[in-house]
Amino acid sequence: KGWGSREGVRAEVWVTSAEPLEWAPPADEAAGDCEDDAAFAARARRLGLSFVPAVDLAESAEPFSLAAIRDGTFAKSAAGGRMAYVAPPESRMAEIQRWLAASPAARPWLRVASPRAIRAALTKLWSARLLADAVGHLAGRHPRLSARRVATAGQGLFWFVVAALMVVAAARHPEALLVAVNLVGALFFFGISTLRFVAAGRIRHSAPLAEPSPSGMAPEDRLPVYTVLVPLYREAHLVDELVASLDALDWPRRRLDIKLLVESVDPETVAAVTRAVRDRPAFEVLVVPQGGPRTKPKALSYALPLARGEYVTVYDAEDRPQPRQLREAHAIFAASSPDVACVQASLAIDNGARGWLPLMFTIEYAALFDGLLPLLAAARMPLPLGGTSNHFRRVALEAVGGWDPFNVTEDADLGLRLARFGYRAVTADLATHEDAPVGFRAWFNQRTRWYKGWGQTWLVHTRSPFRLVRQLGVRGLAGFLLIGTGLIVTSLVYPVYIATLAAAATNPAALWGEGDLGAAAILGVNLFNLVAGYVAMAVLSARALRRRGRIAPVRSYLLLPLYWLLMSLAAYRAAFELLLRPHHWAKTPHARHIGQ
């Protein structure tokens, strides 16, 4: 008999012994052990066993066990003769030595390896099973909350009828259709502008940003294991900077579980991350096999069952998180009720000086992450999470089904799904710094993907409208309508606003006729909403930037009308992609960081 894992899995070593040796390592040791190969090689010498840096499990007599993979303490192979691999912790060395002395026949079959090597071998062995679970878990458990099927038959019929009626109206009563579109847009424009003005008012009364006090944070010996998931695809050039940023995180290394998720079809990045983390035991490379949609949420879903941490966070390859961000998130969780499932850290753009698109991105992110999201969190409304720097209680993340591998804006979907399950998301101050796309093509592809994912999210969560209302409540539903629906509608209607105002300004009689008070009222509402929208965005972003010690040049706000028009073009492109290739993930290329 051999060792047992912390979750009761007993290993057998094909030898006999008077007494089996069973042990349950302490939680911090079993889950957070990140000693390097040298430590286990030294223990192998003390035990009189061979040390192997890599474990080969071409075949295994072990049944599939997530607990065994996460622990990485034992594995056995039936390939080329019987062999067992163990990762002995220091606290059990004396006990293991006594067991070996009583069972000398076990020595030829035993090898010592690191937990990381054992986990890698078990993960590779069971990769097909893990992939199938990653792709099918949410769709199998909550089929009506999965974007695997973009729209139900009922939704398809409903939108076909709506489209047909709009075509008929455009042919027979174009003026009436134009008025209706303008009025619908006016409601959402007004609602979002009001929300931004309220958010700007809250920033005025907020305290200046400051480093969290160490006295308000838990001591190191009481900190849990924290898992950091980082999906990468075709980003070998960013690996060294990424590893340096993650290596700077202020968290005990024995309680840090950093997993770099790389695609099997990207050997260049696989080689780069393997080389970069060779001497960093807190890091592990997880190769995601080919299959299913090649999306970021699929990689995250593949990794989630293997996460060893009580808390899980996600970073992107270009991210540079503030080193104490994990500490702040943990302190917020510790001071919050269990229904707080997510802490969203702020995202700050660093390359705003590299062009007008990064500058507009800087304004947009400041308004969203330092203005709008804190207001939504305070109002207990669903948060459209950022795709990075969101920190989760793992138990809550697993309870709602994790990420949807078929949703290309998985963050917005997950934020709404958390709310439907009764969880809340809050915000944190310490930011993650990243760079915005500089070129138009990269920006346009990224924005198209975001709009397509918001469309997927909207279709998924409106399949059962009455259930949605019951689960979100009045306040949550208002947040969903303003953000989840409003951002889509305003982006689609915005060109109509611009076109009608331009036509009325150049030739009002041709468009509306003379003396039409109704037409004048519509134009007045449109003009008011546009001006209010620009002012609300400018005030909110300016105050949010000032809170972080930044100022955007005045000329940047004059570019908002053009920027919003480009966003509308991306929204229309996303609508077509939603019909033709709904699960296609347009990868956003990232360059090396170039500071301002």
First to last CA, the chain: 61
pLDDT at position 458: 96
Q: For CA atoms 101, 103, 107, 108, give the dihedral sign.
A: positive
Looking at every residue in the chain, the average pLDDT score rounds to: 87
Report pLDDT digits (tens) over 342-375. 999 999 999 998 999 999 999 999 999 999 999 9
pTM confidence score: 0.90
Provide mean pLDDT across the span 159-164.
90
Q: Which of 77, 40, 57, 76 is nearest to 123 (CA)?
A: 57
Provide, for the chain, the percentages of residues in helix, strand and coil under a 3-state DSSP scheme, each rounded to the nearest 5.
60, 10, 30
Cα–Cα dist 403/138, whole Å: 8
Could you give the residue ranges of the DSSP H alpha helices within 126-208? Answer: 127-141, 153-172, 174-204
Report pLDDT digits (tens) over 436-492. 999 999 999 999 999 999 999 999 999 999 999 999 999 999 999 999 899 999 999
- Locate 243 and state its tokens: 């590893």
Q: Where are the beta strands (DSSP E) in 234-379?
A: 256-263, 283-288, 311-314, 320-321, 340-349
Cα–Cα dist 369/347, whole Å: 6
